[in-house]
Each structure stands twice: as structure tokens, then as C-alpha cells.
Amino acid sequence: MQFLYVFLGAGLGGVCRYFSSTNLHKFFPELGFPIGTFFVNMVGCFFIGLIAQLAETKTALGGDVRLFLTVGVLGGFTTFSSFGYETVQLIKDGEIWLALLNAFGQLALGLVFVWLGIVIARLL
């Protein structure tokens, strides 16, 4: 059943991401900045923090609801929210060096792998 929660949530999150991102680009075409992606990443970060805290302190968000919202909806909306949450959790756990490694490592290696994918695709 948990698979179904993630599946349905991811579909909903993906559709929300598509509409949010494309509509923001329509309203602000002159920016030359990926405002849609920036927006969904920040909204996703806000909501994963909100949901995680409510799940820790309130009983209203059970495991299946949290799974649907975080892994499903927010996972389909943006994985950046998971990245942000996991990095903050490392900081809260006192693992500052691991948090820095996670933050800078994912950013730097993510850019390297995007570039590598482009290079390989050009060779094909």
C-alpha cells in the first residue's frame, strides 16, 4: 500500500511542479533566470520542513500520510526539498562536516555530472 501512496503523491507533485514552473516562466519571461525551478525548490523546502516538524510534534501526521506528502508529493514536486531536509538533519545531529560534504558535494558533483552527461550525449 505504501508504494501506492508514493506513486499517487509523486504524480500529483509532478503535475504541480509542471504547472507552477511553466506558469511562472510565462509571467516573468524577461528575467532570464529559472524562476520556476527556484520557486518549486523553495516551496518544497518550506513544506518538507513544515511536514517533518508537524510529524515530530503532532500525532495528526501518521507514517502513511507523511510518506505520501514527503516522498510522494514533494518527491514529485522537487527532490531539492529532501536534500535540504537531510542536510539540516545532519546539522541538528551535530554532523557539521557531513552536512557540508552533502551540501557542497551534491552541488559540485551534480554540476559535474550534468556536464558529463552533455559531453557523452554529444559523442553519441
C-alpha cell at position 28 = 516573468
Q: Mean pLDDT over all residues of the chain?
A: 89
Most confident segment among 53-57, 101-105, 118-122: 101-105
Region 60-84: mean pLDDT is 88
The percent of residues in the chain predicted with pLDDT above 70, rounded, is: 99
* Residue 54 CB contacts under 8 Å (≥ 6 apart), including other chains: 60, 61
The span from the CA of 20 to the CA of 25, in Å, is: 9
**pLDDT reported for residue 68:** 95
Coil vs helix vs strand at 50 = helix
- Nearest CA-CA partner of 6 in 51, 79, 49, 65: 65
The better pLDDT of the pair 62, 59 is held by 62
The span from the CA of 45 to the CA of 30, in Å, is: 26
The span from the CA of 98 to the CA of 12, in Å, is: 32
* Residue 84 CB contacts under 8 Å (≥ 6 apart), including other chains: 44, 45, 48, 49
Tell whether pTM > 0.85: no
**pLDDT reported for residue 29:** 81
